[in-house]
Chain A
Amino acid sequence: MEFTPGNLLTVTFATYAIGAVAGLCCLRHERPANLLTFGLATLASACGLLAGVLCLAYSPAFGTVRMQLLPTLIPYLSFSIRVDALSAFFLVVVSAVALAISIYSLGYMRGFYGRKSVGLLGAFYNVMLLATTLVFLADNAFFFLMVWEIMELTAYCLVSFEHEQAETRRAGVLFFVMSHIGTGCIMLGFLMLFQAYGHATGDYGSAAYSFDNFHALGDRMSSGSRDAAFLLFLAGFGIKSGIVPLHTWLPAAHPVAPSNVSAFLSGVLIKTGIYGMARVFFDFLPGTAGPPMWWGVTVLSIGTISAVLGVLYALMQHDLKRLLAYHSIENIGIILMGFGAALMFLHTGHPVLASLALIAGLYHTINHAIFKALLFLGAGAVLHATHTRDMEHMGGLAKRMPQTAFFFLVGAVAISALPPLNGFVSEWLTYQSLLQGYGTTDSLLRLMFPIGGALLALTGALAAACFVKAFGITFLAQPRSEHAAQANEAPSTMLLGQGLLVAACVFLGLFPTQFLKLLDPLTQSLTGLQISGQLTVANGLVLSGVNPNGGTVSTLGIAVLGLCFLSLPFLLRLVFARGTNVRIGPTWDCGLQGLTPRMEYTATGFSKPIRMIFKALFRPRREVQREYDFSPYFTNTIRFEAHVEEVFETRIYRPLNRWVLWASRRMRALQAGSIQAYLIYIFITLLLLLLFAL
């Protein structure tokens, strides 16, 4: 067998399928089920990763890989896949993250032995991986929607896997409903594309569902239907990726899933929305005329709002996994800022800058996939050790779980966009494209770029604050509970899974120019330009904006020079501090009888200043109940409760929900149970349809 992407992909799909079947076969045998399902998923994702990298690195040699997976007899539907550069990029994203998560799961699933069916979870997991991979590769709108739906359903099953808790069930249903509203929008969008193609060519056959024929379809659509399709896809894919205000399901659903699944949901699954937007906004809809200005303005605004609100709400969480879930909203926002800027540049006729902004968005896509998966895996390890998601019951884990703590810290630095790791690189590219965008237009709209940049800075600084809290409260100081005090380091497979992602963070952070070369075929296909050469100076050691005078950065240089500077403190120590001792002593306690964990700063306390500053948004509410005998200064018991209002839920979703329920109650009058009435309805409908047809 030859070592080609096509063959590797066949192996990938077959192995995922076998993994799923194997899981169902060993429902009663936990150990073999664990080894088989996740072992096979590891193998499959490794093959997928290799295939994706081969496609990107040797794109001229392999070209666009096409395959027919299954024969079909149904018209319009063809089980065909096509791996162009964009698909290959997302294939790399899904496979790299799936590889690390699968290895991690080998250890993590042991916590489910005797509690839940490991085989069932493994089977769902493999199907979800297979479906997600196929979403990125599908070449036919029907096939795309089919695998999309399979992906949604398996994800729903996994979200509500621990359905014994009411919270999980509620989150699962919310996920299910919101996903399907999104799928509905996407279906309508595809129908519009189908109609546009058929109308233009007269061919309403299966060709009208092929992605090849959708390319630059915008040229053949009227501007009204193009805009409508844009809005439908924006809403549909936006729900999937969790943009504000369509995000409410995300922080509910992601935390309640098992942690390895959460890592996949937050790292990869929401990226299917990003893939859809990239595909539709840059491949299908623009055409030669380019997108209208307001598309870019809309996407950039939504991105900025999602980024700022996502991180602000993240700061208010003390459930570690919920906090991470809110950060996904923030990062999707940052990705969309790149996409929005790219759309604006396409409109104003600056393809080089558009490529830069697009690359910034896509670079952030893979970065977020990697560090978010890493952080969720870390959270899973912590959960595994402390049996709680509440940060207020953690603490002191850096001493008890040093490797996990280190890995989590790397993820925290990366997601806070701090140099020299990967989050910084992609945000640097985003900033550069925004700043250089200022000169592309004379209208006042150009103020959006620096203002967007400033809000991105706000987002970055708030994210740093949030991860100081997340890492500091979880891993540092004294343990705040018995469970935390007795936590043990995670097993080696779990550490290996996280370690792989840490290596990816470091690689993508220190060697961005190497990675950007892989994106050349991608920008070639979407904007017609290869710009990695323009982004590289000094033999690839330094990254530059497209214009080298516009600013350069070298994370590798910063890291190397930083390590060199490390000699300075050691030199000082040799010269001056020779013979000094280090004593271990108690923390200063103001003369009390020692500090207890209850005196430590809490996660809620840490974020209080931010809560007060943004109180117009959060509307914080607190209740204090104290019982005392003779003076309020000597309380017997005290109960404290603090709440933050989730504006979108209370102001938009709940009224909407009430309205829908009210409307459905009214509608019930129609369903009176008498057959005669139903016959009349059918008759009237028929008449109306006939009238309409005339």
Chain B
Amino acid sequence: MNLDPISILSQTALLLALAPLITGCIRNWKARLQNRRGPRVWQPYFDLLKFLRKDMVISEHASWVFSAAPYVVFITALLVGLMVPMVTTQAPLSLFGGVLAVVGLLALGRFFLALGGLDPGSAFGGMGSSREMTIAAIAEPALMLALFTVAITVGSTDFSYIVTAAQQPGWNLFNPTHLMAFAALFVVLLAETGRVPIDNPATHLELTMIHEAMLLEYSGRYLALMEWGASIKQLVLMAILVNIFLPVGLATDGSAAMLGLGLLIFLGKILLLSAAVVLVETVNAKLRLFRVPDLLSAAFVLAAMALLSTFLFK
């Protein structure tokens, strides 16, 4: 357990480079499933570049909190990304935190995101913040319980340790505990990344948007940081899902061949999960806000059942 500057830098680069692509893929595939041509897969990169080059308009009512929020959102997403193993079994920043720090840092980003939504004084932002915090509040127990179930079976809250344990022979990929925990986490993933049926990332209709409502007053490079941070967060949550529950093909040492193969397999797994998200988004309609708690409590119950099943399937 040491800090390795090279792996920190390379994983940071991977996060920064890959995250917009995943967002682009999801948008493009979703459009195709809906018989539209859709934006190119690379479009998010151009969007980010465009936002970075634009002037900013900042609300006259906003305070310094509004300006601080994009930095916090962006940096917490990066930090979280370094605590989760992606291509190798060893996450570069495992020493600095595991499951609990990841959940905490995501909450810190969300905290500032919601404050940034409230700051300009528009009712949209307030509505988005209120809903975001509500949904996060009911998603977090399910997230924690599902992760605890895995952490308990392994005996560690350290993601690297969990993933390494999953490499050992005798790790049962399809045991019911893992399947139920996976299902719970998948629902949480949809909630945390603002996907249908919880939120609709493609809408700017007042009454339905949550995440977009908080970003409404952001422009220019602040918007770029916010969007980039959101895609990194999405990538990280997906990485948690695929690497914990499908821990195949992770590089166990630093050789180039291993790393190359690991990267390819990681990409494949993430794209597979993205396809699943696209399918869910396409065949479902957005839920009414007050139906969302039902879905999330179902996720919590699944996680609780996963925990109970550790008694039955040793």
Say whether A465 contacts B134, CB under 8 Å.
yes
Say whether B58 contacts A588, CB under 8 Å.
no
Known: A566-B71, A606-B130. A438 touches B101 (CB 8 A): no
Which of B111-119, B169-177, B267-275 lies on the face that meets chain A?
B111-119
Known: A418-B108, A580-B54, A585-B59. A476 touches B74 (CB 8 A): no
> Does B131 make an interface contact (CB < 8 A)?
yes
Known: A458-B137, A609-B289. A587 touches B217 (CB 8 A): yes
Q: Which residues of A contact B151 (CB under 8 A)?
A: 435, 551
Q: Which residues of A contact B283 (CB under 8 A)?
A: none
Known: A435-B151, A462-B137. A447 touches B53 (CB 8 A): no
- Residue of chain B at shortest CB distance from A560: B96
Selected from A447, A461, A552, the residue in CB contact (under 8 A) with B140 is A461
Say whether A583 contacts B57, CB under 8 Å.
yes
Selected from A454, A600, A613, the residue in CB contact (under 8 A) with B145 is A454
CA distance A552 to B115 in the complex (A): 30
Say whether B121 contacts A595, CB under 8 Å.
yes
Say whether A450 contacts B134, CB under 8 Å.
no
Which of B31-39, B155-163, B255-263 lies on the face that meets chain A?
B155-163
Q: From residue A354, how far is it (CB to closest CB) to chain B in Å?
A: 18
Say whether B115 contacts A471, CB under 8 Å.
yes
Say whether A589 contacts B122, CB under 8 Å.
yes
Chain B interface mostly: helix
Taking residues whose C-beta sits less than 8 angstroms from the other chain, chain B's interface range is 35 or more
Selected from B56, B123, B136, B137, the residue in CB contact (under 8 A) with A599 is B123
Q: From residue B53, how far is it (CB to closest CB) to chain A in Å?
A: 6
Q: Which residues of B contact A557 (CB under 8 A)?
A: 93, 95-96
Say whether A551 contacts B100, CB under 8 Å.
yes
> Does A224 make an interface contact (CB < 8 A)?
no
Known: A551-B99, A554-B95, A561-B93. A396 touches B133 (CB 8 A): no
Known: A438-B152, A551-B157, A600-B123. A468 touches B221 (CB 8 A): no
Known: A461-B137, A587-B122. A580 touches B221 (CB 8 A): yes
> Does A538 make an interface contact (CB < 8 A)?
yes
Q: Which residues of A contact B145 (CB under 8 A)?
A: 450-451, 453-454, 457
Say whether B130 contacts A605, CB under 8 Å.
yes
Of listed A418, A467, A545, A586, residue having the most chain B CB within 10 A: A418
The total of chain A residues at the interface (CB under 8 A) is: 90
Selected from A461, A475, A583, A588, the residue in CB contact (under 8 A) with B63 is A475
Known: A475-B63, A565-B75. A468 touches B118 (CB 8 A): yes
Q: Which residues of A contact B133 (CB under 8 A)?
A: 461, 464-465, 468-469
Say whether A597 contacts B121, CB under 8 Å.
yes
Q: From residue A245, how far is it (CB to closest CB) to chain B in Å?
A: 23
Say whether A399 contacts B152, CB under 8 Å.
no
- Residue of chain A at shortest CB distance from B77: A565
- Residue of chain B at shortest CB distance from A563: B75
Q: From residue A98, how far is it (CB to closest CB) to chain B in Å?
A: 30
Selected from A447, A458, A549, A607, the residue in CB contact (under 8 A) with B156 is A549
Known: A398-B65, A601-B123, A613-B293. A476 touches B115 (CB 8 A): yes
Say whether B304 contacts A398, CB under 8 Å.
no
> Does B230 make an interface contact (CB < 8 A)?
no
Say whether A587 contacts B155, CB under 8 Å.
no
- Residue of chain A at shortest CB distance from B97: A553
Say whether B141 contacts A455, CB under 8 Å.
yes
Say whether A402 contacts B157, CB under 8 Å.
no
CA distance A236 to B139 in the complex (A): 36
Say whether A561 contacts B221, CB under 8 Å.
no
CA distance A550 to B155 in the complex (A): 6
Of listed A477, A537, A607, residue having the most chain B CB within 10 A: A477
Say whether A398 contacts B107, CB under 8 Å.
no
> Does B49 make an interface contact (CB < 8 A)?
yes
Q: Which residues of A contact B122 (CB under 8 A)?
A: 587-589, 595, 599-600
> Does B279 make an interface contact (CB < 8 A)?
no
Q: From residue A601, how far is it (CB to closest CB) to chain B in Å?
A: 2
Give residues 86-112 of B contacting A (CB, 8 Å): 93-101, 103-105, 107-108, 110-111
Which of A57-65, A151-159, A374-382, A569-577 lies on the face that meets chain B?
A569-577
> Does A405 make an interface contact (CB < 8 A)?
yes
Known: A416-B111, A465-B133, A609-B130. A586 touches B148 (CB 8 A): no
> Does B85 make an interface contact (CB < 8 A)?
no
Say whether A601 contacts B130, CB under 8 Å.
yes
Q: From residue B270, how far is it (CB to closest CB) to chain A in Å?
A: 23
Give residues 406-430 of A contacting B (CB, 8 Å): 409, 413, 416-419, 424, 428
> Does B20 make an interface contact (CB < 8 A)?
no
Q: From residue B217, how far is it (CB to closest CB) to chain A in Å?
A: 6
Selected from A465, A472, A473, the residue in CB contact (under 8 A) with B137 is A465
Say whether B108 contacts A583, CB under 8 Å.
no
Q: Which residues of B contact A458 (CB under 8 A)?
A: 137-138, 140-141
Known: A477-B118, A587-B120, A587-B122. A432 touches B96 (CB 8 A): no
> Does B24 make an interface contact (CB < 8 A)?
no
CA distance A405 to B64 in the complex (A): 10
Say whether A577 contacts B61, CB under 8 Å.
no
Known: A457-B141, A468-B114, A577-B220. A558 touches B97 (CB 8 A): yes
Q: Which residues of B contact A587 (CB under 8 A)?
A: 59-61, 120-122, 217
- Residue of chain B at shortest CB distance from A561: B79
> Does B280 make an interface contact (CB < 8 A)?
no
CA distance A467 to B118 in the complex (A): 12
CA distance A217 to B129 in the complex (A): 53
- Residue of chain B at shortest CB distance from A599: B123
Selected from A419, A584, A595, A601, the residue in CB contact (under 8 A) with B129 is A601
Q: Which residues of B contact A417 (CB under 8 A)?
A: 104, 107
CA distance A577 to B55 in the complex (A): 8
CA distance A602 to B80 in the complex (A): 32
> Does B17 make an interface contact (CB < 8 A)?
no
CA distance A473 to B129 in the complex (A): 11
CA distance A431 to B151 in the complex (A): 12
- Residue of chain A at shortest CB distance from B224: A572
Say whether A577 contacts B52, CB under 8 Å.
yes
Q: Which residues of A contact B304 (CB under 8 A)?
A: 451, 454
Say whether A460 contacts B140, CB under 8 Å.
yes
Say whether B100 contacts A468, CB under 8 Å.
no
Q: Which residues of A contact B141 (CB under 8 A)?
A: 454-455, 457-458, 461
Say whether A419 contacts B55, CB under 8 Å.
no
> Does B41 make an interface contact (CB < 8 A)?
no
Q: Which residues of B contact A565 (CB under 8 A)?
A: 12, 74-75, 78-79
Q: Which residues of B contact A605 (CB under 8 A)?
A: 126, 130
> Does A70 make an interface contact (CB < 8 A)?
no
Selected from B64, B70, B79, B124, the residue in CB contact (under 8 A) with A562 is B79
> Does B312 make an interface contact (CB < 8 A)?
no
Selected from B108, B110, B161, the residue in CB contact (under 8 A) with A549 is B161
Give residues 174-198 of A contacting B (CB, 8 Å): none
CA distance A327 to B104 in the complex (A): 19
Of listed A417, A538, A589, A613, residue having the most chain B CB within 10 A: A613
> Does B242 make an interface contact (CB < 8 A)?
no
Selected from B63, B111, B140, the residue in CB contact (under 8 A) with A418 is B111
| Chain A residues within 8 Å of B, Cβ to Cβ | 395-396, 398-399, 402, 405, 409, 413, 416-419, 424, 428, 431-432, 435-436, 438-439, 447, 450-451, 453-455, 457-458, 460-462, 464-465, 467-469, 471-473, 475-478, 537-538, 542, 545, 547-554, 557-558, 561-562, 565-566, 568-569, 572-573, 576-577, 580-589, 595, 597, 599-601, 605-610, 612-613
Other A-B pairs, 14, CB within 8 Å; known A553-B100, A558-B105, A608-B130: A450-B152, A450-B307, A454-B304, A461-B107, A464-B110, A468-B118, A477-B121, A478-B121, A561-B79, A562-B79, A566-B75, A580-B53, A581-B55, A595-B122
Give the 5 A-B residue pairs with the shortest CB-CB distance, closest first: A601-B126, A477-B121, A551-B157, A465-B133, A472-B118
Q: Could you give 15 example pairs across A and B, Cβ below 8 Å?
A: A416-B111, A418-B107, A431-B157, A436-B155, A450-B145, A454-B141, A464-B110, A465-B133, A569-B225, A573-B221, A580-B56, A582-B220, A601-B125, A601-B129, A613-B134
